[in-house]
């Protein structure tokens, strides 16, 4: 019995060996483990991958890194970065980074989708590809490899896409994948993907979208200007005068201040670099990280963790961290230790806090109170924007204080309202003659009541004396202004200044911005290129954009771009009646303004001459018309 059992075991082992040998000796097309799906899965499982992809005669480098990261480099500072479900299209020369959904990672997987890299097939076609088995074996650089060949229908009728893939026989790791288009007996190459390296270290910086890149390509904007200042874009011949703050800056711009007079301009580069250009100065802005000083003097304020390179004549270079002033003296870049008089005057006329500040005297020192909440409500009706700001300032001391509220109004805006909360009641201000206003203020102050006096202090700054500010309490203030948003092509832009030195130290407890748009012309799109908004809703003639944050330090100003679907007329009349009287505003769009407007710069070529004819007869009374007729 023992002998019989032993023979049975030997027979079973022999059968097992024969079965294994049969599997190993089977042709390359046998076995589900050899399906092309396993090759695709192997690619998705590697930690890092370096590929070269050739399409249309151009070869690009592609790197992938788990989990869910990809960089597709086209050279010249143009590349794509994908992270999970989002992808950024980056052009460093234009300082642009726009986002869209990513197609390189499917079903939440962390590995790259090989077929998506070459845009292969819909769902059914993908299934056919993944089920294929190898048809033969070849050697590639002395390595045995499987060869897969598959055909799928092309996008056009009668078109066939031939796919050939080569993968190692031992590890099933892809070596090469090519696609060709076959139609009417002709064969044309489409794309080729070659694996350069697997699981080799890749610099993490390749998968980072630069913080200074912006969706619309800006590198900054003008925040304050004094005297005669001009800007010339790259590859342009004409200089454009700076007539308002908020003018956008782009890579390669030249900025020039005039020789005679108190000419200066303040620029804010992304993110949070401040540049003040002095009189008789010429600078070039290659990027947000570089400033080329050709002549004159500049002050640069840069973050310690975001230095700026200041370039001088002959490739002289200085790295600016913190605050520094430089000038060009006899073709040399020289640091200025003593603050120039022009700079003292310019900074004294400029507002440091774009969102407003409430300055109080504590123990002989003027100190700004921290901002509590900041609420902004904006109504835009056919290019006319009305901005209402409610904000609070926190008195953390045990003393009752008197302070001065400073608010920098946008250059193109008109103030239309001011008020303060007295207890729980909002008291709105009345407009009176300046001297009379001061008398009323002093009278109320002597009576120990809450007065508020808003005055224009020159430039774009308004101030208001505020009393009393009770201990351990918040003083709430409301200010309203209106402005016209110029239509360029089919777009107009609303901008609200948020960046503040004070908020770097004391973040906003609460920020809420609510922008509502109402348009007689149908709306094509309403969006914020600067912030990820909490809600964006749009109908044919209205839209709403909301942004909210808590414990928030702004790193850029808030903007909304409104794009209309055509326009009714090149001349738009907006009337306003006040009792029996009234006034109107005429918005005139000059011919030649294209729909792809980006900013206010003069086009090269001859000046545009316009003839405007206005019929004023409608404003005459009946008796005047009869007299004219007689």
| Residue 334: closest CA among 321, 342, 325 | 325
Q: How do residues 244-264 score in pLDDT, each as one tens digit?
A: 777 889 999 999 999 887 789
Comparing 187-201, 328-342, 352-366, the range with the smallest average pLDDT is 352-366
Which pLDDT band holds residue 446 (cuts at 50, 70, 90)? low
CA 29 from chain centre, in angstroms, equals: 52
> Hunting for tokens 């200042």 — which residue is that?
229
pLDDT at 13 over 70: no
Which pLDDT band holds residue 592 (cuts at 50, 70, 90)? low
Q: Which residues contact 485 (CB under 8 A, 6 or more apart)?
A: 380, 383, 384, 385, 492, 493, 494, 562
The pLDDT of residue 568: 58
pLDDT at 416 over 70: yes
* Exposure string for 207-227, b = 16+ CB within 10 A, e = fewer: beebebbbbbbbbbbbbbbbe
Q: Which two tokens stand for residue 234?
A: 């790259």
602-609, long-range: CB < 8 A, 24+ apart: 602/238, 602/239, 602/240, 603/238, 604/236, 604/237, 604/238
Cis peptide before 271 (omega within 30 of 0): yes
d(CA 129, CA 628): 87
Q: Which two tokens stand for residue 62?
A: 């592609």
d(CA 294, CA 282): 5
The pLDDT of residue 433: 58
Specify the 3-state DSSP secondary structure of 625. helix
How many angstroms separate the most distant Cα atoms in the chain?
142
> Hunting for tokens 């097309």 — which residue is that?
29
Q: How do residues 477-493 score in pLDDT, each as one tens digit?
A: 999 999 988 887 788 88
| Average pLDDT of the segment spanning 196-217 | 88
Specify the 3-state DSSP secondary structure of 474. strand
CA distances from 453 to 18, 83, 362, 463, 602 (A): 101, 53, 21, 8, 41
* CB-CB neighbours of 430 under 10 Å: 8
| Average pLDDT of the segment spanning 370-393 | 92
| Residue 356: closest CA among 191, 221, 466 | 466
Averaged pLDDT score across all residues of the chain: 81
Q: Which two tokens stand for residue 504?
A: 């770097």
* Exposure string for 275-284, b = 16+ CB within 10 A, e = fewer: bbbbbebbbb
Judge whether 41 and 109 are in contact, CB under 8 Å.
no
| Average pLDDT of the segment spanning 513-520 | 93
The pLDDT of residue 27: 41
pLDDT at 51 over 50: yes
pLDDT at 621 over 60: no
H or E segment at 317? Answer: strand 317-320
* CB-CB neighbours of 41 under 10 Å: 15
pLDDT at 4 over 70: no
pLDDT at 596 over 60: no
| Average pLDDT of the segment spanning 584-599 | 60
| Average pLDDT of the segment spanning 360-385 | 88
d(CA 485, CA 381): 10
pLDDT at 617 over 80: no
pLDDT at 442 over 90: no
| Average pLDDT of the segment spanning 449-467 | 67
* CB-CB neighbours of 624 under 10 Å: 11
The pLDDT of residue 102: 85
Comparing 229-233, 561-565, 621-625, the range with the smallest average pLDDT is 621-625
The pairing of strands 322-329 and 332-336 is antiparallel
The pLDDT of residue 178: 93
């Amino acid at each position: 019995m023992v002998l019989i059992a032993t023979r049975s075991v030997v027979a079973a082992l022999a059968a097992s060996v024969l079965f294994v040998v049969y599997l190993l000796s089977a042709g390359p097309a046998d076995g589900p483990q050899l399906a092309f799906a396993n090759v695709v899965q192997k690619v998705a499982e590697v930690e890092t991958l370096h590929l070269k992809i050739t399409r249309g005669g151009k070869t690009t480098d592609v790197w992938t890194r788990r989990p869910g990261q990809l960089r597709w480099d086209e050279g010249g500072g143009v590349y794509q970065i994908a992270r999970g479900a989002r992808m950024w299209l980056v052009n460093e020369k234009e300082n642009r980074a726009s986002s869209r959904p990513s197609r390189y990672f499917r079903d939440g997987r962390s590995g790259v989708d090989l077929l998506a890299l070459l845009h292969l097939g819909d769902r059914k076609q993908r299934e056919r590809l993944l089920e294929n088995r190898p048809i033969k074996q070849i050697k590639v650089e002395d390595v045995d490899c499987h060869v897969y060949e598959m055909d799928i229908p092309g996008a056009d009728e009668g078109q066939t896409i031939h796919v050939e893939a080569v993968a190692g026989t031992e590890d099933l790791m892809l070596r090469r994948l090519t696609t060709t288009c076959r139609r009417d007996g002709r064969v044309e190459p489409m794309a080729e993907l070659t694996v350069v390296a697997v699981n080799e270290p890749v610099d993490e910086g390749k998968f980072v979208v630069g913080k200074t890149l912006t969706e619309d390509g800006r590198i900054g904007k003008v925040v304050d200007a004094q005297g005669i200042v001009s800007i010339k874009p790259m590859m342009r011949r004409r200089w454009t005068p700076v007539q308002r703050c908020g003018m956008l800056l782009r890579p390669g711009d030249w900025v020039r201040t005039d020789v005679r007079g108190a000419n200066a301009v303040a620029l804010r580069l992304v993110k949070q670099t401040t540049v003040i250009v002095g009189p008789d100065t010429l600078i070039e802005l290659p990027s947000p990280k570089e400033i080329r000083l050709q002549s004159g003097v500049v002050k640069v304020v840069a973050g310690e963790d975001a230095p700026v390179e200041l370039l001088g004549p002959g490739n002289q270079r200085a790295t600016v961290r913190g605050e520094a002033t430089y000038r060009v003296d006899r073709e040399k870049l020289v640091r200025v230790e003593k603050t120039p008089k022009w700079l003292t005057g310019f900074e004294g006329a400029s507002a440091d806090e774009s969102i407003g500040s409430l300055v109080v005297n504590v123990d002989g020192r003027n100190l700004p109170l921290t901002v509590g909440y900041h609420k902004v409500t904006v109504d835009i009706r056919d290019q006319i924007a009305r901005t209402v700001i409610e904000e609070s300032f926190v008195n953390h001391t045990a003393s009752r204080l008197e302070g001065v509220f400073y608010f920098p109004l946008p250059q193109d805006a008109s103030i239309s309202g001011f008020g303060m909360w007295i207890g729980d009641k909002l008291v709105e201000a009345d407009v009176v003659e300046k001297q009379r206003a001061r008398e009323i203020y002093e009278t109320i102050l002597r009576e120990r009541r809450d007065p508020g006096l808003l005055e224009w202090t020159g430039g774009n700054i308004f101030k208001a004396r505020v009393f009393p500010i009770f201990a351990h309490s918040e003083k709430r203030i409301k200010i309203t202004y209106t402005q016209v948003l110029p239509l360029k092509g089919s777009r107009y832009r609303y901008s609200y200044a948020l960046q503040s030195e004070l908020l770097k130290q004391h973040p906003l407890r609460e920020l809420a911005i609510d922008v509502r748009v109402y348009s007689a012309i149908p709306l094509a799109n309403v969006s914020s290129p600067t912030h990820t908004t909490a809600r964006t809703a749009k109908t044919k003639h209205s839209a709403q954009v909301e942004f909210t944050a808590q414990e928030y330090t702004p790193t850029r100003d808030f903007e909304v771009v409104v794009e209309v679907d055509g326009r009714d007329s090149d001349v738009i009349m907006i009337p306003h009646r006040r009792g029996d009287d009234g006034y109107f505003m005429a918005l005139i769009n000059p011919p030649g303004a294209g729909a792809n407007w980006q900013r206010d710069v003069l086009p090269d070529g001859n000046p545009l001459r316009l003839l405007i004819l206005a019929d004023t007869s409608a404003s005459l009374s009946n008796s005047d018309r009869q007299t004219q007729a007689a």
